[in-house]
Amino acid sequence: MLAELRELWRFRELLFSLVERELRIRYKNSFFGFLWSLLNPLITVVVITLVFKNFLRNDTPNLSAYILAAYLAIALEVEVEPETGRVRVVRAVSAIDSGEIVNPDGIRNQTEGGILQSISWTLYEQVTFDRTRITSADWSSYPILRFASVPDSVEVHIVERPGEPFLGTGEAAQGPAAAAVGNAIRNATGRRLYDLPLTRERVRGLRV
């Protein structure tokens, strides 16, 4: 129970920090900023009350009923060319727990797309600029995953969980897929990169 409460509290802190940052940027010294400062403690009390009501009502409390996010595991097969620094994901195998399944094709399609998007973010995408302006201003100059670099196979296995809460699938693949790419490069080269994107130049630099 304590571990689940700590997890929920971390989620609440992250959510509040994002909302507060947005309010400070857009509504600094305005009525909306003042209103949020009043609602913040009230929302905290409501969240904690709901959690304890659920703990007292259920023998096996399920924190996912509050966080409403899917769980995903992924493994990647990756080719790394040390001389050129080229990294290509050959195969992706994933398993996702989205709670009770309503639309399996939708879950599968969303997860496949999220894996490809994450590979693109991790290996290619970045905004480039010089001293005066952004230079990656269109799709021809912006680095992104192209068809020639798409994995040969992307597998999505959906975990059947009838009767469980419905969990959001939208962004479940992005974080785990990026981490899997980094781990695969570490496994292939023996060294780890810490700055995204993991470009050819950075991978080639691991040989030094």
Reported CATH class of domain 69-205: alpha beta
Is the model more confident about 205 or about 116?
Answer: 116
Tell me what the mean pLDDT of segment 170-179 comes to.
92
pLDDT, tens digit, for every residue of 56-89? 555 545 554 555 689 999 999 999 998 999 999 9
- Contact indicator for 80, 189 with CB cutoff of 8 Å: yes
Rounded Cα–Cα distance for residues 76 and 177 (Å): 8
Tell me what the mean pLDDT of segment 142-164 comes to.
93
Which part of the chain is CATH 3.30.365.10?
69-205
The pLDDT assigned to 111 comes to 96
The pLDDT assigned to 92 comes to 97
Closest C-alpha to 71, from 3, 159, 155: 159
Q: What is the largest CA-CA distance in the chain?
A: 61
